[in-house]
A and B are shown apart, each in its own frame.
Chain A
Amino acid sequence: MTFFEEQLKQGIFQISYCEKCNKKIWPPNEICHTCFSQSKWQKSKNIGKVIEFSKKDSTYFGLVEIDHGIRIMGEILSSSTPKIGQIVKMQTSFNLKPHYSFIVENN
């Protein structure tokens, strides 16, 4: 299990970034795409906005952007139809694969 996965399992979303290039690396990687130096980790603020969404059965899912540029597919927890641009709070877990949930604020 990678550091990213271990942290997800504890509900912590860690973002890999390069200190030298001042760039986030997503999907997570221990090596910077640009300078190949060892990346660092910082915790996400766990706040995002809905970019696009759809629904399967009774579950909304969609593409959400967190921390200015990191886009993730996940479940959107909302009692009404989500809106593009809507602010969401992220919760994470890991059980063989990552699962990201986005809770619509003021739901």
Chain B
Amino acid sequence: MNSVAIVGTGQTKFSKDDDDVEKLLFESTRNCIQSIENCEPKDIEGVLVSTNNNSKYLGAILSETLGLQPKISHSIEHLCSSGTNALISGYAYISSGLADLVLVSGAESATNPGQILEWDKSRGSFEHPIYWASMLTKSHKTKFQTTEEELAIVSAKNHKQAMDNPLAYSNQPRTISEVMNSKQITDDLRILDCSRSCSGSASILLASEEKAKKISDQPIWIKGIGQKTTSASFTKNNLEEIESTRIASKIAYEMAKISPNDVDVAEVHDAFSVCELMAIAELGITDNHQSGKFVRNLFNTEDRMINPRGGLIGAGHPLGATGISQTIEITNQLQGKSEKRQISNLKTGLVHNMSAAGTSSSVLVLEN
């Protein structure tokens, strides 16, 4: 199997305002191509678009906008983890030898249809994500004695880290007390525990080893990939676990020949505060009983190891772009290009992206 590297990245600012998906895709793609000095756009052989937007034929539209006639071009939708799944598809095209250079571009407008899974009749009229998030939060508090303050720290930490992310939808700091006193959505969820659906776009250029060495002096290698789908319907989940994340991470660690202890930095899918606590436990970074204390310690020591760009809660959640934006953050961190957010001495980074109450998870391991 051929090695695959990330050689270029580009993004737009995330915003609460609605925006045109085609325009957003072009903007992040242009930034991506311009991030590489030696890139000839005509060499791009694959154009993959990740979105939940209803617009049609976006792979071909983006290709035409860029003046490309690629060998491979199509859209990829997998709800909130569309972005990492598009990257995995791009990886597969290159590692199989079907293409040497693949552009993966994700975009979403703030009012997108990706939050509701109409097929899932088991959710009844409680179809919005706040309802399953309330179930997970209540269960976590009961089962692992997680406190409201520990949940609030996740949000306070991620908002604080997003202050140094110029592309985040908001750079407003939020104290623990502000989170705990923010608008109550349900008995177990405050508004500042929730990530916000945003407009935004993120693009990555993937290259084969031979191509990467020609056009990049700082390629970041995708060393491990794990993807696991356990179901589509929420009610098959055990409330106290995200099985898909546990399995996907095991696969990714094995492929990368690393253990959770080797992870220096991670972007995890904090759709809601409780999701970050559950994710870091399922990824093996800590355990469920310690996850609240683990995050409190990160916050108190200003350690940005988890969600340095601010996660979904701090940066915003443009569904189809989220997994790509997470991957760009880890890429930039491993390249030493994260400016105010930079963590020192990094070798291995992890991306965790998931869909529909954790019924599907993707995990990527990146190395410099």
Contact = CB atoms under 8 A, between A and B. Distances in A.
Nearest to A55: B187
Contacts of A75: 125-126
Contacts of B123: 73
Interface string B116-135: 00111111111100111011
A26 B234 CA distance: 11
Interface in A48-89: 51-56, 61-63, 70-75
Interface in B145-196: 185-189
Contact of A98 (B124, B138, B186, B234): B124
A56 to B, nearest CB: 5
Interface of B: 118-127, 130-132, 134-135, 137-139, 185-189, 233-236, 239
Contacts of B186: 54-56
A26 B127 CA distance: 16
A98 B239 contact: no
B124 A74 contact: yes
A28 B135 contact: no
B135 A72 contact: no
B239 A97 contact: no
B122 A26 contact: yes
A100 B121 CA distance: 10
A54 B235 contact: no
A55 B184 CA distance: 10
8 contacts: A26-B235, A28-B121, A54-B186, A56-B134, A72-B124, A73-B124, A74-B125, A75-B126
A99 B126 CA distance: 8
Nearest to B236: A71
A86 to B, nearest CB: 15
A72 B131 contact: no
B148 to A, nearest CB: 13
B239 A73 contact: no
A4 interface: yes
B139 A27 contact: no
Contacts of B239: 51-52, 63
B126 A61 contact: yes
Contacts of B137: 54
Contact of B131 (A61, A97, A98): A61
Nearest to A97: B125
B131 A73 contact: yes
A101 to B, nearest CB: 9
Contacts of B126: 61, 73-75
Interface string A17-61: 000000000111000000000000000000000011111100001
Given A26-B235, A56-B131, A63-B135, 7 more contacts: A28-B121, A52-B138, A54-B186, A56-B187, A72-B122, A74-B125, A75-B126
Contacts of B118: 97
Contacts of A98: 121, 124-125
Nearest to B232: A27
B222 to A, nearest CB: 33
